[in-house]
Structure formats: C-alpha cells, structure tokens
Structure 1
C-alpha cells in the first residue's frame, strides 16, 4: 500500500472550524505501536486502542474520531489493517 493513504469521508466531520472531507493516513511506525500498547488503560478495549491509533495516524484529535461516522471509521480501519503485517497461518 502506498504511503500515505487517503480516505474520502462519506459523512464529513467538523474539526475546530473546518470541515474534513478526506483523511490522510500515514503508515504506522514501531513507536506508534508501542504508544498504542502503552496507552491501553485498565478497562480499555481494543476498539479504544484502534480509535487512538487512527486519530494519531490521521493527525486528528480523539474528539474528532468520536464524531466520525461508523462507516467512515470502518474504511479508515481497513486501511490501517492493510498497513500491518498479517500473522502467519
């Protein structure tokens, strides 16, 4: 997959005073994976980690991710999944 990837949002979101119609997703680095693992709070879920990772890689605040349409988040998540190596069968 090329670096970075772009996802056009079906439902744009407002971040501060601007409308976001497309997100640019950079490829994760090992430091991003470490940060994601460290930020997992007691009682936190894998979904919470995925949202935090998506926010970081899209350079969006967590609050913006909370406002993202679920279908748009699924599209972003699919791109993120494509960035990560697959586990051996």
Structure 2
C-alpha cells in the first residue's frame, strides 16, 4: 500500500484502519488519522510480516492496546523505518 489516506475508520474488534494477518504487507507514504478500534490497534493490528516506511500515524485510538500499531509479539516480523512519525 502506498500514497494512501486511511481516516475515520472504526473496527468493533482489532485494526481500525487495517487488520493484517497473512502474507507480507508494506506500507509507504501513507497517513492513518482518526481511526478507532474497540479492541487492539487503532490504526493497524498486525500478526504477520509488516514494514511501515515514511508514513504518519496521528490521532488514532483504541480501548485496549496499541493506539497506533498493535503487533502480536509471537507472530510479528518487520520494521518501522526511522522517518515515520507516530503520535
């Protein structure tokens, strides 16, 4: 996914913007703003390989864990590159 805007989305479980569970996901030059999850991962919930580059996460929220990004530690591989801004 690249050059995208995900804003104002809501999930009743995990991943207000994206719920990712299979394959490899690469996100670049993308903004996640004002997304909400009732469980984990206001912007992103992840349990596979994911790479986030040059992207912005701002104003996302959740009722449990990971207002911006929630990754299951037992299943996650990947990276968040240094030029990303997480608020």
TM-score normalised per structure 1: 0.29
- Larger RCO: Structure 1 or Structure 2 (Cα < 8 Å, ≥ 6 residues apart)? 1
* Bigger fraction of residues in helix: 1
TM-score normalised per structure 2: 0.29
Which of the two has higher C-alpha Rg? 1
